Structure 1
Amino acid sequence: MSIPSTPGKTGRERLAEVKELEARQAKQRRMLALVAGVVTIAVLGVAILWFVSQGNKKKESESAEQQARNSQFIKTLTTIPAATYDKVGFGAATGVPSATDGPQDKVGDKPRVLYVGAEFCPFCAVERWSLVSALSRFGTWDGLGGAVSSPNEGAMSNIQTVTFKDATYTSKYIAFKGWETKDRMGEPLQTMSDADSTLVSKYNDRGSIPFVLIGGKSTTQGATWDGRSLPGMTNTEIAEQMADPNSAISKGAVGAANVYSAQICTLTGQQPANVCNSAGVKAAAAKLEVK
């Protein structure tokens, strides 16, 4: 290596300066290599954690889907004892139907309950528990299936529920139509009829789901009880807790079911009498805005 000439300095001094410069440069290179190594390790660590979390998320989602195929819970949900409804009353319901200014929505001479939601929607998953149990008091279901909400909703992911996609409902008092517009992953599922699309546009201009139109005279938008305890529970556990009037889930879900029942009774001439005159429905009716 040639040593640059520096006026006033000896060759020994100039050599010492060069060695010092080389030492500083070597140290800088080591520091840069160390920093690069640390950054690389950190990036790899984040990537590994992300892949692990995605793997765990996928396993949870697949497990939830497998559990939803078990439909034995539906019998429990649709046969909740009258004593449970009566003990819960209004319970911990968080909302009541709001009045509309439209004509009565009927199928023949029966007032109709219209539901619009989506399978991915966590609040739809919550609300179906109450709506199914309420309508079970006025008629019978066929084709209800287990379902689970989206795996991508944070703390409200993978909620066990039912779906109305293939369901039919029979009653001498009321009619029902349920639309599930998207599947669990947000892909298109069912296309509403033009008539129902018009009703939704009229009464739900923000497009909120779940949306329920009760006989054309009242609506609910969003969940009408707090279902934040549902994630992580099996569908069997939820149905069994609904049947227990002392559980928090029963107070919320069955309380909301009593509210739906009371609102429906205003359209059916308070029929059937054993439902509409029950203590639980009367307690909920006292809270109604639309009577």
Structure 2
Amino acid sequence: MAQKAKKSTKSSRQVTAAKNSGSQKGMVYSATALVVIVAVIATFILIKLNKSSSSATATNSLAPAAVVSAVTKVPNSALAAATVPTSSIPLPYAVKNTALLTSNSKPVVLYMGADYCPYCAAQRWPLIIALSKFGTFKNLHTTSSSSTDVYPNTQTFSFYGSSYSSPYINFQSVEMQTNIPSNGSYTTLQTPTTAQNNIFNTYDKPPYTATATGIPFIDYGNQLIEGGPAYSPAILAGLSRASIAGSLTITGTVTNQAILPSANLIIASICKIDKNQPGSICSMAPVATVEKLLK
């Protein structure tokens, strides 16, 4: 589970008008100098913003339709065959005596991550598979984890720029930072709302998660808390997105054995908070078996 990188901050200098020297000529020179300084500062800010914007879009692009289809349409039969090794995969932490978090009368599933994070890169594969059983994604994007972090350039998706609709749950995603280095951290991509940040600060720490301020972080309606992926990003090392997507339903491949059980764990967590809807997915043997353990 990656530690949340500190967000970079930008500072600006305040320009104050020169005091009246008592000389009309001095006032003209001061005013002229002030205009020049302001213009220079404005130019630098504009260049900085344009450069940041173009860099951010270069690392995050619309996912190919074939890859999206392979990940969002994993057959139920493939998931039913993927048992969850609960002895090696940690179960989400069950929060006691807390009201179910809802939005528009639907349970909230909150994901917090970042594009640079290799652990988030690994987690998005089973998360997208699982969420696709409850709703529909539009405009999923692709990205890769940081080239300078552990498990560099892990191929994955980004929720930034996408949308999701479901009759059962309200999925909220926050990709907090890009994979673009900036002063020892990474540039900001999305900022959590106050409510999302409060949840993150409340539950993203022991005993709910193994470490404090780590990502990826998933909150299932304030009932179950999941910190970190259920499998190592090392499994995806050197693999393209197309090869990962294409191997998901091939029994015996390392990606099949790691990602589908992780998806079943996420499905079970969602079924736990949405009254087991839809029944066709929540009643599957691996899902139903794991759900009974989530208490």
Deviation string 1:244-264 (CA, Å, 9 cap, x unpaired) is 232221121110110111111
The letter for the 1-side match of 2:214 is S
CA distance in 2, matches of 1:68, 1:175: 23
Distance 1:69 1:198, change over 3 A: same
State the match for 1:114 in structure 2: 110
Deviation string 1:186-222 (CA, Å, 9 cap, x unpaired) is 2111000011101111111421100000111011111
State the match for 1:103 in structure 2: 99
Matches within 5 A, 1:102-181: 102-154=98-150, 156-181=151-176
Q: Which runs of 4+ in 1 moved over 6 A?
A: none
Unaligned runs of at least 5 residues, structure 2: 1-57, 181-185, 206-211
CA distance in 1, matches of 2:120, 2:75: 24
SS of 1:130 mapped into structure 2:
helix
1:66 Cα deviation after fit: 9.5
SS of 1:187 mapped into structure 2:
strand
TM-score computed with the length of structure 1 as normaliser? 0.73
Conserved in 2, the CA contact under 8 Å of 1:212 and 1:221?
yes
Conserved in 2, the CA contact under 8 Å of 1:71 and 1:145?
no
Distance 1:90 1:289, change over 3 A: same
Aligned-residue RMSD, C-alpha = 2.1
SS of 2:237 mapped into structure 1:
coil
Distance 1:66 1:192, change over 3 A: closer
SS of 1:260 mapped into structure 2:
helix
The letter for the 2-side match of 1:86 is A
2:220 matched to 1:224? no
CA distance in 1, matches of 2:266, 2:190: 25
2:218 matched to 1:212? yes
CA distance in 1, matches of 2:89, 2:237: 19
State the match for 1:24 in structure 2: none
Conserved in 1, the CA contact under 8 Å of 2:118 and 2:152?
yes
Identity, % of aligned positions? 28
More strand as a share of residues: 2
CA distance in 1, matches of 2:145, 2:109: 22
State the match for 2:274 in structure 1: 268
CA distance in 1, matches of 2:285, 2:266: 14
Distance 1:285 1:248, change over 3 A: farther
Conserved in 1, the CA contact under 8 Å of 2:84 and 2:262?
yes
Deviation string 1:130-154 (CA, Å, 9 cap, x unpaired) is 1110000011101211111100024
Deviation string 1:91-145 (CA, Å, 9 cap, x unpaired) is 5862221112432111121101000010000000000001110000011101211
The letter for the 2-side match of 1:107 is S
CA distance in 1, matches of 2:284, 2:105: 24
- For these two proteins, the number of residue pairs brought into alignment is 225
2:93 matched to 1:88? no
Deviation string 1:216-240 (CA, Å, 9 cap, x unpaired) is 1011111112231212100011111
CA distance in 1, matches of 2:270, 2:63: 31
CA distance in 1, matches of 2:121, 2:246: 17
2:192 matched to 1:192? yes
Conserved in 1, the CA contact under 8 Å of 2:63 and 2:139?
no
TM-score computed with the length of structure 2 as normaliser? 0.72
Unaligned runs of at least 5 residues, structure 1: 1-63
SS of 1:184 mapped into structure 2:
strand
Distance 1:140 1:67, change over 3 A: closer
